[in-house]
Amino acid sequence: MKFLITGGAGSVGHALTSSLLEKGHSVRILDKKVDLLQSLGHKSLELIKGEIEDLSVVNGAVEGIDVIVHLAWSFSDDPIELLASDLKGHLLLLDAAIAEKISNFFTPVPLLSMANPSNLLSPKKIHVWWKKQESLFMELPN
């Protein structure tokens, strides 16, 4: 299978990448810091340096993918950063997953983990949930 791991340069992503490669899978990483993974140098590893808030990067990253493991998260305490970066990026990734008909989407992202776990495997259901959250963020006072 071909996996896309967003935020794959982090400790969880790095360990997951190594494990998937050992099992014979292909892995594509989308992260701001892919340089940290250059040392893996595996023929089935593709590194994309970029951000999930960049539509063209996200669209390219999901092409030909079977499974998305979404680990990218800013961990910011700033609600503006969460809205501008994380939420936008998550929605772009979900839109791209739906457009590519990717049916396997896994994420431990904090806000999504509060959703009903049975929804976490369907990009369409997650997208609907995120759209509801987006409207709540828009109602926050300055």
Q: What is the pLDDT of residue 78?
A: 77
Q: What is the pLDDT of residue 34?
A: 85
- Cβ 55 vs Cβ 64: under 8 Å: no
Q: What is the pLDDT of residue 110?
A: 53
Q: What is the mean pLDDT of the chain?
A: 79
Going along the chain from its start, the domains and CATH numbers come out as 2-138 (3.40.50.720)
Q: What is the pLDDT of residue 57?
A: 97
Q: What is the pLDDT of residue 108?
A: 75
Low-confidence ranges of the chain (pLDDT < 70): 109-142
> What is the DSSP track for 12-31?
HHHHHHHHHHHTT-EEEEEE
Q: What is the pLDDT of residue 119?
A: 40
**Residue 43: HSE in the Cβ half-sphere, 13 Å Cα cutoff:** 1
